[in-house]
């Protein structure tokens, strides 16, 4: 158990340090989602009342698209210098590697969300009517839902031709229930018209089911060559 | 076996023609919808056939993954047996019976649950090794075709009856669409994947897709649904003559799907044989070339 955590921590710290020095993923994600915000702003031009109904969808669509750029780099980074092959032959458990990558991606996407949410609030004049603190569990569970499957499918699409295109093609259909819950939950809180409790529970179920499935199948995917 | 194929083809054509005649002429006209409703005899059998094929794909994929290691193979076998026994027993317990939707008979649910182990062991018996993967790709491809028929006939039917082409909040409509999307992405993965481990990756994706379906269902559950209640085992009601035609139509569609699957499966077998012989050939010629200078030098 101890070695599992030490492997997770070591890999995660390495990824964060790499990202801190290059800032490749974070910069591209931030600029990408900024573009999404601006394009949506020009195409909708909503009033405050309307924006409350649509901004939940816009925010999550922006984050979903932006996170794909980060997820694509997760494993591609390891292909250089045959790092992935080194992982394969190392005695470290495959799941530790997966959890480290997923947690690292979670941190990147969380930083993106923390920086971009104020921009959405400013551009769309959003004022929350419902209980705002409930947005936090939805954001955490929703981000994990995107990131856990994204990390898994990114590892899967490594083995395919044109892998950058393959990741969203695999990830988006499976993520539909999570995206529906995130968007509907966020809209429910912003408008204050209904309770977001159901969607939070659904997101939690989604996270538990797919985290278990990823951990059960990741060893197979990593060693498939 | 080869003689059965043309006989079955002729039988299927006759059955399809008979089903069409029954659907257009014999079946009574619906009191509310008029003749428009007759599209049900194509819409519903296609949907059932597509779901059955996706179910076969799921079972074959899980079995393919389980067969990778002897330990998981045994474990999954016992889990499937436990699901079968537990599901049948649970259907007759009073607290579970109260949870079933009204009109759904416990015996019907128990039979459906029992299909899981039956399919699992039948497929495992008749499709050993790589044939499991061939069955998975066959059922996914044919399933996507039938699912497309459902998604095309659905809006054609909905427009005159509901007044709209598409109801975004409808639970079965949307979950069928998501199911279709998942299986199209499955076929894309198979098409794009170049490594020798495509089968493993595709099987993993199929399991993910199957886990996703109930979640899709619940995520749309909150919206009010426009669809009629399920006809068989549900609370909806239907004229017995209509049901009779519907079942004949389903039988015709099942025969047709079976025929298509059969030829697709044979195609897949032949394709892999060709690939294998090509690989062996290039291996053979490569080793011949490599051995040539060696043999000369040895002289």
Instruction: Dump pLDDT digits (tens) for A187-198.
Output: 888 888 888 888
Q: B247 vs chain A: nearest CA distance in angstroms?
A: 32
Q: How far apart are CA A25 and CA A74, in angstroms?
A: 9
**Rounded mean pLDDT, B184-195:** 86
Residue B225 lies in a domain: yes
Which of B60, B66, B49 lies closest to B116 in space, CA to CA?
B60
Q: How far apart are CA A92 and CA B178, in angstroms?
A: 37
**Rounded mean pLDDT, B15-21:** 92
Identify the band that residue B236 occupies on the pLDDT scale cut at 50, 70 and 90. Answer: low
Count the domains in chain B. 1
Residue whose entry in the numeric block shows the structure tokens 């959405």: A120
**Helices and strands (H, E) in chain B, number of each type:** 9, 0
**Tokens in use for B262?**
């059969």
pLDDT value of position B104: 67
Q: How far apart are CA A179 and CA B72, in angstroms?
A: 33
Using an 8 Å CB-CB cutoff, list chain A residues near B205. Answer: 156, 170
Mutate to test the interface with A, among B219, B220, B224 (most CBs of A within 10 A): B219
CA dist A92 → A8, A88, A100, A150 (Å):
10, 8, 12, 22
Q: What is the domain range of residue B182?
A: 12-26+39-67+129-277
pLDDT surpasses 90 at B262: yes
CA angle A59, A36, A146 (to 5 degrees): 50
Using an 8 Å CB-CB cutoff, list chain A residues near B215. Answer: 177-178, 202, 205-206, 209
Q: Do B216 and A205 touch (CB under 8 A)?
A: no
Which of B91, B89, B90, B76 lies closest to B121 in space, CA to CA?
B76
Q: Do A169 and B201 touch (CB under 8 A)?
A: no
CA dist A213 → A39, A179, A210, A217, B186 (Å):
36, 19, 5, 6, 17
**Tokens in use for A43?**
């195409």
Residues in chain A with pLDDT values less than 70: 1, 48, 225
Residue B218 lies in a domain: yes
pLDDT value of position A1: 62
Identify the band that residue B270 occupies on the pLDDT scale cut at 50, 70 and 90. Answer: very high
Tally the residues of chain B.
299
| DSSP-derived secondary structure letter, B22 | I
**Tokens in use for A106?**
């979670």
Share of chain B above pLDDT 70, in %: 86
pLDDT surpasses 80 at B100: no
Cβ-defined contacts of B69-72 (< 8 Å, 24+): none
Residue B4 lies in a domain: no
Residue B236 lies in a domain: yes
Q: Do A202 and B219 touch (CB under 8 A)?
A: yes
Using an 8 Å CB-CB cutoff, list chain A residues near B211. Answer: 209-210, 213
Cβ neighbours of residue A13 closer than 8 Å, sequence gap 6 or more: none
pLDDT digits (tens, 9 = 90+) for A74-97: 888 888 888 888 888 888 888 899
Give me the residue from A172, A199, A225 closest to B197, CB to CB: A225
Nearest CA in chain B to A213: B208
Which of A176, A220, A194, A199 lies closest to A53 in space, CA to CA?
A194
Q: What are phi and psi of A173, to 5 degrees?
A: -60, -40
Residue whose entry in the numeric block shows the structure tokens 């899967």: A156
Average pLDDT, chain B: 83
Q: Do B205 and A156 touch (CB under 8 A)?
A: yes
A198-210 in b/e burial notation, b at 16+ Cβ within 10 A?
bbbebbebbbebb
Nearest CA in chain B to A175: B212
pLDDT surpasses 90 at B28: no
Identify the band that residue B298 occupies on the pLDDT scale cut at 50, 70 and 90. Answer: very low
**What is the distance, to the nearest Å, from the Cα of residue B61 to the centroid of all Cα atoms in its chain?**
12
pLDDT digits (tens, 9 = 90+) for A65-79: 999 988 888 888 888
Strand locations in B221-284 (E): none
Quote ipTM for the complex. Answer: 0.86
Cβ neighbours of residue A31 closer than 8 Å, sequence gap 6 or more: none
Residue B215 lies in a domain: yes
Residue B103 lies in a domain: no
- Of the ranges A177-191, B140-154, B216-230, B263-277, which one carries the lowest mean pLDDT score? B216-230
Which of A79, A57, A56, A76 lies closest to A68 in space, CA to CA?
A76
pLDDT value of position A224: 72
pLDDT value of position A136: 92
Q: What is the domain range of residue A147?
A: 2-223
pLDDT value of position B263: 92
Q: Write down the pTM of the prediction.
A: 0.86
pLDDT surpasses 50 at B118: yes
Which of A174, A157, A175 lies closest to A166 in space, CA to CA?
A157
Q: How far apart are CA B11 and CA B172, in angstroms?
A: 32
Q: B92 vs chain A: nearest CA distance in angstroms?
A: 27
Q: How far apart are CA B156 and CA B170, in angstroms?
A: 16
Q: Do A213 and B208 touch (CB under 8 A)?
A: yes
Residue whose entry in the numeric block shows the structure tokens 């990823």: A214
Q: Do B185 and A176 touch (CB under 8 A)?
A: no
CA dist B82 → A56, B64, B65, B298 (Å):
43, 19, 19, 64
- Of the ranges A77-81, A89-93, B221-225, B249-253, which one carries the lowest mean pLDDT score? B221-225
Angle of helix A163-191 relative to helix B198-221, nearest 10 degrees?
A: 10
Can you tell me whether residue A161 is helix, strand or coil?
A: coil
Residue B174 lies in a domain: yes
Residue B153 lies in a domain: yes
pLDDT surpasses 50 at B297: no
Q: What is the DSSP string of B77-131?
A: HHHHHHHHHHHHHHHTSHHHHHHSPTT--HHHHHHHHHHHHHHHHHHHHHS-THH
Q: How far apart are CA B237 and CA B30, in angstroms?
A: 12
Question: Up-side HSE of residue B205: CA atoms within 13 Å toward CB?
Answer: 37
Count the domains in chain A. 1
Q: What percent helix, strand, coil does chain A show, rounded to 5?
A: 90, 0, 10
Q: How many CB atoms lie within 10 A of CB A12?
A: 20
């Amino acid at each position: 158990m101890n070695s599992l955590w030490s492997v997770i921590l070591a890999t995660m710290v390495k990824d964060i340090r790499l990202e801190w020095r290059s800032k490749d993923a974070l910069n591209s994600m931030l600029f990408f989602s900024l573009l999404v915000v601006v394009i949506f702003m020009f195409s909708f031009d909503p009033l405050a009342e309307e924006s409350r109904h649509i901004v939940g969808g816009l925010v999550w669509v922006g984050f979903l698209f932006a996170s794909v750029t980060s997820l694509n780099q997760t494993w591609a980074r390891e292909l250089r210098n045959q790092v992935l092959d080194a992982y394969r032959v190392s005695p470290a458990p495959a799941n530790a590697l997966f959890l480290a990558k997923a947690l690292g991606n979670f941190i990147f996407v969380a930083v993106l969300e923390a920086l971009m949410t104020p921009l959405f609030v400013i551009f769309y004049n959003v004022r929350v009517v419902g209980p705002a603190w409930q947005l936090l569990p939805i954001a955490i569970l929703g981000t994990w839902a995107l990131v856990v499957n994204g990390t898994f499918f990114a590892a899967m699409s490594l083995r395919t031709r044109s892998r950058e295109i393959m990741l969203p093609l695999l990830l988006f259909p499976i993520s539909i229930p999570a995206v529906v819950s995130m968007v509907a939950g966020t809209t429910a809180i912003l408008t204050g018209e209904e309770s977001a409790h159901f969607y939070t529970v659904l997101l939690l179920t989604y996270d538990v089911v797919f985290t278990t499935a990823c951990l059960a199948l990741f060893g197979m995917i990593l060693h498939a060559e | 076996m080869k003689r059965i194929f043309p006989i079955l083809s002729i039988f299927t054509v006759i059955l399809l023609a008979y089903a069409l005649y029954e659907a257009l002429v014999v079946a009574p006209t619906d009191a509310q919808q008029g003749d428009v409703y007759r599209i049900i005899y194509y819409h519903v059998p296609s949907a059932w056939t597509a779901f059955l094929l996706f179910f076969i794909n799921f079972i074959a994929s899980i079995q393919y993954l389980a067969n990778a290691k002897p330990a998981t193979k045994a474990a999954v076998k016992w889990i499937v047996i436990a699901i079968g026994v537990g599901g049948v027993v649970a259907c007759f317990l009073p607290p579970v019976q109260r949870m079933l939707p009204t009109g759904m008979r416990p015996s019907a649910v128990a039979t459906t649950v029992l299909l899981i182990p039956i399919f699992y062991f039948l497929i495992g018996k008749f499709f050993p090794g790589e044939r499991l993967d061939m069955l998975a790709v066959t059922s996914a491809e044919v399933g996507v075709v039938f699912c497309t028929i459902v998604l095309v006939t659905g809006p054609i039917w909905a427009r005159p009856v509901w007044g709209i082409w598409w109801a975004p909040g409808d639970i079965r409509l949307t979950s069928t669409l998501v199911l279709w999307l998942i299986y199209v992405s499955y076929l894309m993965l198979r098409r794009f994947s170049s490594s020798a481990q495509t089968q493993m990756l595709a099987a993993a994706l199929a399991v993910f897709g199957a886990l996703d379906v109930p979640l899709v269902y619940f995520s749309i559950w909150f919206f009010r649904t426009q669809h009629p209640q399920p006809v068989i085992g549900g609370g909806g009601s239907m004229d017995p003559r209509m049901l009779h035609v519907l079942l004949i139509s389903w039988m015709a569609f099942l025969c047709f799907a079976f025929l298509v699957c059969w030829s697709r499966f044979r195609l897949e077998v032949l394709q892999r044989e060709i690939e294998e012989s090509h690989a062996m050939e290039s291996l053979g010629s490569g080793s011949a070339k490599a051995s040539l200078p060696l043999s000369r030098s040895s002289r």
